[in-house]
A and B are shown apart, each in its own frame.
Chain A
Amino acid sequence: MSAPAIDPVRTPVPKPAARSAEARRTTPTRFDTALGWSDRPGPGLALRILLCVIALAVFAAPFLTIVSGALSTKPSGSSLSFLPHHPTLQNIRVAGQQGIWDYFTNSLVIAGGALLLQLVVSVLAAYALARHRFRGQALILTLFMLTMMLPEEVIAIPLSLVLGHVPVLGIDLKGTVWGVILPLGAWGFSIMLLTEFMKDIPVEIEEAARIDGVGEFRLLWQVVLPLCRPALGVAGVLGFIMIWDQYLLPLIAANDPTDYTVTVALSILRSDPQVGSGVVLAGAVMALVPSLVVYLLLQRSLVTGIAAGATKG
């Protein structure tokens, strides 16, 4: 008797998109959230605000401490706080003397190149997978899926050998940005994401273009690609974050520390006893800013991308 007289498993669940459209139409009620939060002032609202403040303190405040630490003269221990005591750019200057700008440039070149390559490769592969029927298609699909299941860590050791002597070509990619860029080119996730999206583009648009005598490459470039813009945004943000997060690959692809990216270079700054923690934090802030900018600019597509990626598996 105490159990609710409904069967939630059998009840059809509306699609999230339909639900949010409906939610925008109707006025909010306390049934809009699972916990039934209310907008009206009261103990419930006070509790929610308190919990939000705690969540912010735990998940966001540490970022303020590293920014303030990077701007403080001598940050150590308790002098780390949310606001710098004597704001100074000294740490960034010292980090610059340690070559942080060179590492930063390495990072930008690698991120830009790898993202461009990744998007081009994914768009081409996705177009063929979504729009053409050919023999061996299932095999190709499985191979691309496998690239997702094949973690960088597992192939790190043989990959470092391959980078030193690429099969067939016999060239040495170690110490060049290509050693990091090329292995990041084929990313199963963005190929899958774009393939799923392109499958939903109406065939009629394409057929109309074909009848007009548009070639295959122009069709992809001028007709399909503009329609894919939302999916490209998602693939771009997730791809950038994935590339910027790379640690092991730049480490094994480097010949010596001057080839490191800014994220890997933090460990050099840290292990130098001459360098204070403020300088390490200055480097950390520099490694943080680009992903932060990309996230804030495109956070909406990132969130939809995570949801789409999760449901597509």
Chain B
Amino acid sequence: MTATVTAPQRRRGIGRKTVLPWLFIAPGLLLALVFKFWPMAKGIWLSFFKVRPFLGDKWIGLDNYRRVLTDHRFREAVDHTLVLGIGISLGAILVGFLLALLLEGQARSLKLVRTAVFLPVVTATAVVGEMWRLLYYPTSDGLINHALGFLGLGPVPFLDDPGTALWSTMAMGIWMGAPYNMVIILAGLAGVDRSLYEAAAMDGVSLWQRLRHITLPAIRPAVGIVLTLAAIRGLRVFTEVYVLTDGGPAGSTDVWMTRAYTLGFTRNDIGGASAASVVLLCVTLLLTVTVNYFRKRGDVR
């Protein structure tokens, strides 16, 4: 009797089983296709054209790429992107590690300090940019310059001098990224077996050796993840620079994406800007795939 009841249900169930998952997937898939993958395909397509509104696009093959890759301002932008990306990534990890070592623990007061120190991460980049623009105010009226004045140091024209603007942008990037890394490293520190510390103390090991041989190996996976994410993020640094300096002064903080943005939206060179974006996309994907390959190999081992 049960068989007669369940049999038709199951038959209908098989039909539903193939359609149903796709019904659930459909909204996300559609949005991703229309607003991510279609623009990506369109960008790749446009990068081979001289885009002319009203006149029709003209196929020019790799000319856009040749133009972008030989342009000296783009070459400078590559340098700045690398300096900023590497500097911010490494700096934010170092500062994040030091913060984690300082703020590790269960006490309530420590949790309060951690909550406050984490604020830069949840603040929108545009707001951080406005804030730092005031902190960096170039005369001795500026807050940081005011503090430097107490130490007997002259006012530094942080963002107004091509020699210091890139470093000032880097400092803001580290400030924004370090607390995020702190949280990941803290999670790694929590996983360290405490009996190792105890055993090390009995063996009379110095603090430095303890950090070097117990703490660092334990948080290595966490640091690996942080470094990967930071490197990929560093390549496409945009909002930080756009809000703080807009590439200036004299192009001294121009990065790959601000350059592409200027080319596309200010100069209306859609083809060239698309080519620049495709180059960045290729580098990002290459980096991601390489990193994933090494991480998987590391996991197997």
Q: Which residues of A contact B (CB under 8 A)?
A: 2-6, 8-9, 11-16, 19-20, 23-24, 28-29, 31-37, 39, 48, 51-52, 55-56, 58-60, 62-63, 65-66, 69, 76-80, 120-122, 124-125, 127-129, 132, 134-135, 137, 140, 143-144, 146-147, 149-151, 153-162, 166-167, 182-183, 185-186, 191, 216, 241, 244-245, 247-248, 252, 263-264, 266-267, 270, 277, 280-281, 283-284, 287-288, 291-292, 294-296, 299, 302-303, 306-307, 310-311, 313
At the interface, yes or no: B65 with Cβ under 8 Å from chain A? no
Known: A13-B193, A51-B102, A140-B25. A186 touches B32 (CB 8 A): yes
Please determine whether A157 and B131 come into contact, CB atoms closer than 8 angstroms. Answer: no
How distant is A127 from chain B, measured CB to nearest CB, in Å?
6
Chain B residues, Cβ within 8 Å of A264: 126
Please determine whether B116 and A191 come into contact, CB atoms closer than 8 angstroms. Answer: no
A135→B283 CA distance, assembly (Å)? 31
Interface residues contributed by chain B, number (CB under 8 Å):
113
Please determine whether B225 and A310 come into contact, CB atoms closer than 8 angstroms. Answer: yes
Please determine whether B201 and A281 come into contact, CB atoms closer than 8 angstroms. Answer: no
Chain B residues, Cβ within 8 Å of A35: 101-102, 104, 207, 211
Chain A residues, Cβ within 8 Å of B199: 4-6
Please determine whether A167 and B34 come into contact, CB atoms closer than 8 angstroms. Answer: yes
Please determine whether A4 and B175 come into contact, CB atoms closer than 8 angstroms. Answer: no
How distant is B271 from chain A, measured CB to nearest CB, in Å?
10
Describe A's contact surface by its main secondary structure.
helix
Q: Which residues of B contact A (CB under 8 A)?
A: 16-18, 20-22, 24-25, 27-29, 31-32, 34-40, 42-43, 46, 99, 101-107, 113, 115-127, 130-135, 137, 139-143, 146, 175, 178-180, 183-184, 187, 189-194, 196-201, 203, 205, 207, 209-211, 213-215, 217-218, 222, 225-226, 229, 232, 236, 238-239, 242-243, 257, 260-261, 264-265, 270, 273-274, 277, 280-281, 284-285, 288, 295
Please determine whether B192 and A34 come into contact, CB atoms closer than 8 angstroms. Answer: yes
Chain A residues, Cβ within 8 Å of B214: 4, 6, 8, 34
Partner pick for A280 among B130, B139, B187, B257, CB 8 A cutoff: B130
Please determine whether B99 and A154 come into contact, CB atoms closer than 8 angstroms. Answer: no
A306→B226 CA distance, assembly (Å)? 11
A140→B127 CA distance, assembly (Å)? 36
Please determine whether B277 and A124 come into contact, CB atoms closer than 8 angstroms. Answer: no
Describe B's contact surface by its main secondary structure.
helix
Chain A residues, Cβ within 8 Å of B127: 263, 266, 284, 287-288
Please determine whether A19 and B196 come into contact, CB atoms closer than 8 angstroms. Answer: no
Partner pick for A186 among B35, B183, B192, CB 8 A cutoff: B35
A28→B273 CA distance, assembly (Å)? 58
Chain A residues, Cβ within 8 Å of B239: 245, 247-248
How distant is B158 from chain A, measured CB to nearest CB, in Å?
13
How distant is B112 from chain A, measured CB to nearest CB, in Å?
10
A299→B273 CA distance, assembly (Å)? 39
Please determine whether B284 and A4 come into contact, CB atoms closer than 8 angstroms. Answer: no
A78→B101 CA distance, assembly (Å)? 34
* Shortest Cβ distance from B105 into A: residue: A33
Please determine whether B187 and A56 come into contact, CB atoms closer than 8 angstroms. Answer: no
* Shortest Cβ distance from A3 into B: residue: B213
* Shortest Cβ distance from B229 into A: residue: A310
Partner pick for A124 among B24, B243, B285, B288, CB 8 A cutoff: B24
Chain B residues, Cβ within 8 Å of A161: 39, 42, 270
How distant is B138 from chain A, measured CB to nearest CB, in Å?
10
Chain A residues, Cβ within 8 Å of B218: 8, 13
Please determine whether A159 and B215 come into contact, CB atoms closer than 8 angstroms. Answer: no
Please determine whether A310 and B222 come into contact, CB atoms closer than 8 angstroms. Answer: yes
Partner pick for A77 among B27, B131, B137, CB 8 A cutoff: B137
Known: A245-B125, A291-B122, A310-B187. A155 touches B238 (CB 8 A): no
How distant is A146 from chain B, measured CB to nearest CB, in Å?
8
Give 19 new A-B contacts, CB below 8 A, not counting A154-B43, A157-B265, A267-B126: A4-B199, A13-B192, A13-B218, A14-B191, A55-B117, A63-B119, A66-B130, A77-B143, A128-B25, A149-B232, A149-B285, A150-B281, A153-B238, A158-B277, A245-B124, A263-B124, A288-B127, A291-B124, A295-B119
Chain B residues, Cβ within 8 Å of A266: 126-127, 130
Please determine whether A159 and B243 come into contact, CB atoms closer than 8 angstroms. Answer: no
Chain B residues, Cβ within 8 Å of A267: 126, 243
How distant is B108 from chain A, measured CB to nearest CB, in Å?
12
What are 10 A-B contacts defined by CB distance under 8 Å?
A8-B196, A11-B196, A16-B190, A33-B189, A135-B18, A137-B21, A143-B29, A185-B28, A186-B28, A313-B295
